[in-house]
Amino acid sequence: MAHVLHEQGQSFEMERVSTQRIQMWAWAAGHSYSSLELDLASTAFLALWYEAFAFDQYEKLLSDAGNAHKVVSWLDMLVSVLGTAANCWVKVVELFTANPDWPHTHLRHLEQDAREQFHFLKGLQQQAAEHVVALCSTCGWEVAKDTSSYLASQQEGNAAW
């Protein structure tokens, strides 16, 4: 875990996107019978791509664990990337709920995965933002840009579900 975070009694952990989830959505793409269903699957793949990108950034954070400035930069980027991934899952759920006649019932179970992933990513995003705020406060820095924007949007109530 990142040395800088441990010094403050904090931790932040992420996991790689699971092969099972990738295969589940690949199966959905292979069983898409309409452009709307393909839009659903492709949006899910975009969310998975952002999740994978976030994990790559997390690994970079770990490699720079002793440098508070770099840890703040990586965490700030994670706040943005995790938000983008979560927004993709919002679109997936909206596609399910806006079109109750589709997708075919064989894809409906994926709506729950999308909802769960949205909530999971929003939780990670909140944790990352809290760590950015704490580190910036400790170091006497202004809160980083993406985290500042995220916090402002939270105060305005711009959060899905």
Domain total in the chain: 1
Per-residue pLDDT reduced to its tens digit, 28-84: 889 888 888 889 999 999 999 999 999 999 998 888 888 889 999 999 999 999 999
Q: Does 39 fall in a domain?
A: yes
10 compared with 124, residue with greater pLDDT? 124
3 compared with 95, residue with greater pLDDT? 95
Q: Does 100 fall in a domain?
A: yes
Q: Does 86 fall in a domain?
A: yes
Q: pTM for the complete prediction?
A: 0.87
Domain span at residue 77?
A: 3-155
Q: Indicate the pLDDT class of residue 145, thresholds 50, 70 and 90.
A: very high
Q: What local confidence, expressed as pLDDT, does residue 104 receive?
A: 63
Q: Does 161 fall in a domain?
A: no
Q: What local confidence, expressed as pLDDT, does residue 32 receive?
A: 81
CB of 48 closer than 8 Å to CB of 19: no
Mean pLDDT of 126-141: 94
